[in-house]
């Protein structure tokens, strides 16, 4: 039986162009980029070429790109690198939202343990932060605002440009977790107005274990790893030249993720039409083009994931970083869903390689799986 992948928000396959670049680098460019001999300088050239490619994709300068091990480190470096800096005023305060990725929420929880106040902004029923709530939350001593660009579970995009304007007026650094956006849809960080922005390579064709943090020129960021003078003293450690090169190659790929919106809409509308008791979680107009989060009333989301996997289709019941958790999604709860409906929701996230034929097969599998699960469930939706 063939298996088809619809869980690209968890991770995407390594693109063939990236795989070739990665293997070439690992076999041929093995020098330390800090070494001054021939092999080291070859590695340095490859590293800086990758930095320029990432910067070109994000609309910034290469000196503003810090290579990291992925989205979690990028988020942690942004949050801790700003919030832990010595401040004149006390207490220090941080503003974030209730729907952030655990990489931000857990970092904020650690800041609270260190005595820093954190304000968690709510979202509306569409899953969006209200920009005016950010403005209202500003207090003396606010040192950082961190609001994600697009949510990993629902795909809902936040009013980042508007929040960036508010942050700039208040002279407060603004970080956005762009892991689900960067490398997928066009982003110009200069126009967006953020001060810090996280991306992760494995979301758009690079391997796991490499990412980047944009740090706008003039932003004073405290390093969280201490050692050598790598990454202009912002992130110590011998650079992952092969991984950085792969990230740069992934950033140069021309696949248009926006084209997935038509397939996503076909999947979504067909399910809503053919499966009773279904509804879409999240704002229909402000979403990533590849993502749909659907509630199947009376059906356990994990059961649906297993049923679809047995039929050859890989989907998710939430964030991959939270898999195995028995609690319902914190994102969906924050949007006002009941715990039962949150547990009954499934995420479909498309990517390069998904076709109309695969989507049609997935629709058939969803219809059959929902009918079967409801037949054996004590809660029947008619």
Kindly list the distances between the CA atom of residue 186 and the CA atoms of 58, 288, 349, in Å, as whole numbers in the listed order: 8, 11, 18
Do residues 203 and 240 touch, judged by C-beta distance below 8 A?
Answer: no
Parallel, antiparallel or unpaired: strands 291-296 and 278-280? antiparallel
Which residues are 294's β-sheet partners? 280, 346
Do residues 217 and 227 touch, judged by C-beta distance below 8 A?
Answer: no
Cα separation, 200 vs 281, in Å, equals 25
- The DSSP-derived string for 141-176 is TEEEEE--SB-TTT-BBP-HHHHHHHHHHHT--EEE
Do residues 163 and 37 touch, judged by C-beta distance below 8 A?
Answer: no
Provide, for the chain, the percentages of residues in helix, strand and coil under a 3-state DSSP scheme, each rounded to the nearest 5.
Answer: 45, 15, 40
Among residues 60, 108, 295, 321, the one annotated as catalytic is 321
Is 321 designated active site?
Answer: yes
- The DSSP-derived string for 259-296 is GHHHHHHHHHHHHHHHSSSEEE-S-SSSB-TTEEEEEE
Cα separation, 298 vs 304, in Å, equals 11
Q: Residues 6 or more apart from 73 whose CB is under 8 A from it?
A: 211, 213
Q: Of 219, 151, 233, 232, nearest to 189 (Cα)? A: 219
Do residues 126 and 335 touch, judged by C-beta distance below 8 A?
Answer: yes
Torsion sign over Cα 239, 240, 245, 250: negative
Catalytic residue list:
321
């Amino acid at each position: 039986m063939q298996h088809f992948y619809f869980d690209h928000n968890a991770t995407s396959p390594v693109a063939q162009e990236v795989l070739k670049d990665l293997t070439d680098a690992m076999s041929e460019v093995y020098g330390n980029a800090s070494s001054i001999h021939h092999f080291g300088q070859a590695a340095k050239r490859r590293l800086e070429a990758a930095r320029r490619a990432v910067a070109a994709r994000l609309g910034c300068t290469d000196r503003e790109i810090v290579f990291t091990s992925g989205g979690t480190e990028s988020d942690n470096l942004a949050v801790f690198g700003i919030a832990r800096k010595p401040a004149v005023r006390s207490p220090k305060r941080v503003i974030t939202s209730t729907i952030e990725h655990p990489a931000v929420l857990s970092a904020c929880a650690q800041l609270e343990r260190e005595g820093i106040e954190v304000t968690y902004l709510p979202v509306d029923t569409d899953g969006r932060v209200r920009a005016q709530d950010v403005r209202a939350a500003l207090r003396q001593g606010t040192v950082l605002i961190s609001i994600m660009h697009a949510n990993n579970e629902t795909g809902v995009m936040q009013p980042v440009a508007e929040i960036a304007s508010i942050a700039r007026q208040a002279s407060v650094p603004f970080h956005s977790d762009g892991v689900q956006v960067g490398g997928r849809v066009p982003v110009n960080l200069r126009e967006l107005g953020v001060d810090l922005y996280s991306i992760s390579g494995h979301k758009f064709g690079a391997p796991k274990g490499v990412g980047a943090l944009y740090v706008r020129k003039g932003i004073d960021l405290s390093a969280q790893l201490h050692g050598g003078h790598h990454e202009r003293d912002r992130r110590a450690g011998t650079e992952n030249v092969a991984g950085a090169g792969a990230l740069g190659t992934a950033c140069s790929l021309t696949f248009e993720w926006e084209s997935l919106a038509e397939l996503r809409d076909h999947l979504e509308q067909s399910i809503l039409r053919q499966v009773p008791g279904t509804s879409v979680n999240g704002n229909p107009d402000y979403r990533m083009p590849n993502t749909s989060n659907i509630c199947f009333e009376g059906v356990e989301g994990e059961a649906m994931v297993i049923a679809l996997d047995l039929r050859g289709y890989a989907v998710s019941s939430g964030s991959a970083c939270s898999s195995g958790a028995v609690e319902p999604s914190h994102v969906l709860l924050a949007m006002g869903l009941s715990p039962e409906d949150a547990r009954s929701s499934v995420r479909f996230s498309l990517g390069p390689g998904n076709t109309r034929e695969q989507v049609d097969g997935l629709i058939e599998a969803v219809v059959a799986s929902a009918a079967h699960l409801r037949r054996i469930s004590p809660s029947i939706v008619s």
